[in-house]
């Protein structure tokens, strides 16, 4: 745990820092990162000894409310920040709300603009879901030698642009291992094998919250079944309530307030 001053100048404890992430390069072992969008998810991640979470930039206040210690990275989407100045504004807002870093899948100029202001910025290489049309669909990136070389060049350009870390998504494990050996970036693997500094999975996949589990993920829970039980119990309770309303069984005397008989008589007199 490190003692820092956040971007508002307030003292805070953090599981890791940008400096410690870079200092772990080449060291054995991994840190763990998951997604969070609510205070409950952030609190659960901290309780589970997860070191890092990533959330959408607008969710930072709620995520930080759930954990004061996790390293929080704010993802800046493709919407809401068209120009470089708008991008910078969103980044500053996220950091002021409690984020420790920002991540963007936008181009190198966007990364450079953030890095010019000494903001801790992560890039996103390999498969970028919202750019999937560029790859012809959902697939690993770097499965041919030319594509792997192009990917390596992108890593180098990202490092030159001033990023300190990179999310590496759906890169073949052997390609990722060779890139990890050569890059100075802190590497965060999402479906790209174990040759990285940080291993990353989505909380929804880990906890089994429903839907298709990606091949690169692993499910450790079954929240989907619990959610279904909650939905079924909600319908059962509402149905029983509606039946009591129809039968005149709700409310009964225990669920209504009473007035003293003398006070009621005085009330009636006042009405006449």
State the catalytic residues.
Answer: 169
How far apart CA 205 and CA 214 sit, in angstroms, is 8
Torsion of Cα atoms, 191 then 175 then 100 then 45, to 10°: 30
How far apart CA 15 and CA 98 sit, in angstroms, is 14
3-state secondary structure the chain: CEEEECCCCCEEEECCCHHHHHHCCCCCCCEEEEECCCHHHHHHHHHCCCCEEEEEHHHHHHHHHHCCCCEEEEECCCCCCCCHHHHHHHHHHHHHCCCCEEECCCCHHHHHHHHHCCCCEEEEEECCHHHHHHHCCCCCCCCCHHHHHHHHHHHHHHHHHCCCEEEEECCCHHHHHHHHHHCCCEEEEECCCCCCCEEEECHHHHCCCCCCCCCCCCCCCCHHHHHHHHHHHHHHHHHHHHHHHHHCCCCCHHHCCCCCHHHHHHHHHHHC
């Amino acid at each position: 745990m490190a003692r820092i001053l956040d971007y508002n100048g307030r003292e805070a404890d953090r599981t890791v820092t940008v400096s410690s992430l870079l200092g772990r390069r080449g060291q054995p072992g991994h840190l763990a990162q998951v997604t969070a969008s609510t205070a409950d998810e952030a609190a659960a991640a901290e309780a589970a000894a997860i070191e890092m979470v990533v959330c959408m930039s607008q969710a930072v206040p709620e995520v930080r409310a759930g954990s004061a210690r996790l390293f929080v990275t704010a993802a800046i989407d493709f919407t809401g920040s068209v120009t470089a100045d708008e991008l910078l504004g969103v980044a500053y807002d996220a950091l002021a709300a409690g984020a420790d870093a920002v991540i963007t899948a936008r181009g190198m100029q966007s990364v450079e603009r953030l890095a010019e202001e000494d903001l801790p910025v992560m890039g996103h290489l390999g498969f970028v879901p919202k750019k999937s049309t560029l790859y012809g669909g959902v697939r690993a990136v770097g499965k041919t030698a030319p594509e792997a070389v192009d990917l390596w060049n992108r890593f180098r350009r990202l490092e030159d642009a001033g990023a300190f870390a990179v999310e590496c998504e759906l890169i073949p494990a052997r390609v990722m291992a060779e890139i990890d050996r050569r890059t100075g970036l802190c590497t965060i693997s999402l479906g790209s094998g174990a040759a990285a500094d940080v291993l990353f999975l989505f909380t929804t996949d880990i906890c089994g919250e429903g839907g298709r589990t990606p091949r690169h993920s692993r499910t450790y829970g079954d929240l989907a079944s619990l959610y279904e039980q909650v939905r079924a119990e909600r319908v059962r309770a509402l149905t029983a309530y509606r039946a009591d309303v129809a039968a005149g069984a709700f409310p009964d005397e225990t669920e209504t307030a009473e007035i003293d008989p003398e006070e009621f008589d005085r009330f009636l007199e006042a009405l006449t």
